[in-house]
Structures are given as C-alpha cells and as structure tokens.
Amino acid sequence: MKQIICLVFKLKIPFLLILGIFCGCAGSLDSDGEGRVYRIIGPAIPGGSSKWTLKRLEAQMGSKEIASGYFDKALGYEGSRFRGVSFAGLVDRFDPKGQSDAVLLNCFDDYQGILSIADIERYDIQLATRISTRPEFDKPGWLNPLLVIVPDNKKAPFQERYLTANIRELKFTRLKDYYAPLNKVGGASVGYTSFKDNCLFCHSLQGIGGNKGARLLKNYDFSRANDKNRFLRDFGAFHHKENADKQNVEQFVSASQLVAIIDFLTGVQKMEH
C-alpha cells in the first residue's frame, strides 16, 4: 500500500480520486432513463400536457446532488447519491394557482404512487433524474428515474409512497376525487388506511391504484380461513427484506396492520358479492 501511495504522488494523480477508488465510493451518476420521454399533465400547461426528457428537466428546473439516508434505510444500502430537481418547483411551475392538492405518479411498470402537494412541500421532496448506488449493492430493475427522494434532514413518515420509482407521468389531481371510489367502501378503519398507504400502489381496488401486483380480490377468497392464511404466507414470501427485487413492504406494515388489511379486504369482498 505504501508503494502505491508513493506512486500516486510521483504521477501526480489526484489523491481524492484514488481515495474514492480504495473506499468503494458510489460510481458516477447514472441516468438510467436517458432516452425515455416523461409526461407532465397539469393545469398551467398549454393543451393540458407536455413531454420532457431528463436533460430538459435538469436544464429548465435546475438540479442538485442529493443524499438520502431515508432511501438507504429502506433498501438496505449505504452511500447512495442522486441528482434531482425540486418537486415543489415543478408544482409551482405547472399549477401556480393551486388548483390541485396532489400529484399522481404513473410508472413504467404499472406501479402507481400519489403524493399530496402539502407533503411534497413539507418534506422538500425531490425527483431524482440520476441514480448512483454503490457497486456492492444489487440494483433491482424498477430502480430508475424518475424517483421520489426524501433528502437528508427531512423526517417524512417511513412509508412505501416516498420511494416511488420508474415514474413516467406526473398528473396533477385532487385527493378527494382520486380516493372517492375507495372511500365508498373504506370508512376510517386501520385496515383501509394501511391498505391505502402500502398496498394500493401495486394492487388496484375499486378501479384505482397500480396494476403491478395481482388483483387480490380475484386471487383470494377472504371469507375462507385457508385463503386468509395463504395470503399471509404469500405476503411473507415476497415482501420480506431478503427479497431479490427489494420489494420489502414488510418493513412498512406491522403484523397487526396486516390483519387489519385482511379484515378490510374481507369487508370489500362481501360488499361486491
């Protein structure tokens, strides 16, 4: 090692570059979504929608490098880095009159997230246009721009919604309108809230939510104890921390919340029949 350091100084190679090599720092920022086209649908856009590339977003909105301990905790990573644009800045640009109170996040893989504008502003949410993770950590296929990022020193609730990735479309909306079909069957139960905050992004219900995951009411008969137990086994088999696809929903849902979700789905299924 001493001989290597001596050679570094003789060749006048920047010491910080060598230090980065030996410390295993994150690689250069990688814009995995390069070449993709993203759509923004908002009230202040002529014609209602516009198409953007990552380069155009960075050029017109400005961008900065971001660290996120929140992201690293959720995925079990260390030292991840991002370049991103201010989500609040996008809100100001595309809905300056405040006609909306939320932004729907439609993704390339049929995941569907939603964030209230109040939370976007409260937690200084960023949209990552480039993602850099350290090489020793496996990167799942869904981890692509645009990616919702909670920057360091912002204490957002630890929820699935603040990790939405692979976003292809931002659509300004109102929470009351979006959740209206689900509110008709949901009430204010713990199961409804837990499902809405953790499951709806992949498992659509009442015509809203994502279609990345299976239709739960078609795959399970929640009036049968065997199917309830099968649901619990399937959830544990896929949504745990060792899952290869990093779909660790288990960290956001307690055992009691999972039971409440089953009760909620049982009630919805009875209403539909």
More confidently predicted of 51 and 247: 51
Same domain, 165 and 33: yes
Predicted confidence (pLDDT) per residue in 175-220, tens digit:
999 999 988 887 778 999 999 998 999 999 999 999 999 999 999 9
Please check whether residues 136 and 212 belong to one and the same domain. no
**Do 129 and 207 fall into the same domain?**
no
Instruction: Tell whether 129 and 240 lie within a shared domain.
Output: no
pLDDT at 23 over 60: no
pLDDT recorded at residue 241: 63
pLDDT value of residue 251: 79
Q: Choose the final residue of a domain: 142, 173, 204.
A: 173
Asked if residue 20 is part of any domain, the answer here is no
Pick the closest to residue 90 from 169, 1, 194, 180 (CA basis): 169
User: Which tokens go with 49?
Assistant: 């929608």
Choose among 198, 142, 131, 139: nearest CA to 167.
Answer: 142
Same domain, 89 and 118: yes
Does residue 208 form part of some domain?
yes
Residue 158 and residue 195 share a domain: no
Does residue 13 belong to any structural domain of this protein? no
Q: Give the pLDDT score at 253.
A: 84
Give domain status of residue 7, yes or no: no
pLDDT in tens, 70-115: 999 999 999 999 999 999 999 999 999 999 999 999 999 999 999 9
As separate numbers, helices (DSSP H) first and strands (DSSP E) second, the chain gives 11, 9
Bridge partners (DSSP) listed for residue 107: 167
Residue 248 confidence (pLDDT): 72
Q: For residues 32 and 95, state if they share a domain.
A: yes
Query: Last residue of some domain: 173, 200, 227?
Result: 173
Residue 30 domain flag: yes
Buried b (16+ CB within 10 A) or exposed e, 215-249: ebbeebebeeeeebeebeeebeeebeeeeeebbbb
Strands 167-173 and 38-41 turn out to be parallel
Q: Mean pLDDT, to the nearest integer, of 156-168?
A: 94
Whether residues 55 and 150 share a domain: the answer is yes
What is the chain's mean pLDDT, rounded? 86
Q: Are residues 190 and 250 in the same domain?
A: yes
Q: Is residue 14 part of a domain?
A: no
CA distance 214 to 206: 14
- On whether both 186 and 94 belong to a single domain, the answer is no
CATH code for the domain of 40: 3.90.420.10
* Inside any domain, residue 79: yes
Torsion of CA 109, 112, 113, 116, to 10 degrees: 140
pLDDT tens per residue across span 54-68: 999 999 999 999 999
Residues 168 and 184 in one domain: no
Closest CA to 189 of 258, 264, 252, 262: 264
Domain extent, residue 145, equals: 26-173
Span 28-45, mean pLDDT? 77
Q: What confidence score (pLDDT) does residue 235 get? A: 86
Which of 173, 193, 215 is a domain's end point?
173
Quick one: pLDDT at residue 238?
Answer: 77
Tens of pLDDT, residue by residue over 219-247, are 999 999 999 999 999 888 877 666 666 67
Give the pLDDT score at 246.
60
Give the pLDDT confidence of 113-156 residue by residue, as tens digits. 999 999 999 999 999 999 999 999 988 999 999 999 999 999 99
Dihedral of CA atoms 200, 202, 204, 208 in degrees, nearest 10, equals 70
Predicted local distance difference test score (pLDDT) of residue 240: 60
Would the pLDDT of 15 be above 90?
no
What is the pLDDT, as a whole number, of residue 25? 46
Q: Is the Cβ–Cβ distance between 181 and 207 less than 8 Å?
A: yes
8 within 8 A of 15, measured Cβ to Cβ:
yes
Distance, CA of 270 to CA of 221 (rounded, Å): 10
pLDDT of residue 33: 59
Domain identity same for 161 and 182: no
Q: How far apart are CA 178 and CA 235, in angstroms?
A: 26
Residue 202 is assigned to a structural domain of this protein: yes
What is the C-alpha separation between 82 and 135, in angstroms, rounded?
15
- Domains in the chain, number: 2
Q: What is the pTM of this model?
A: 0.84
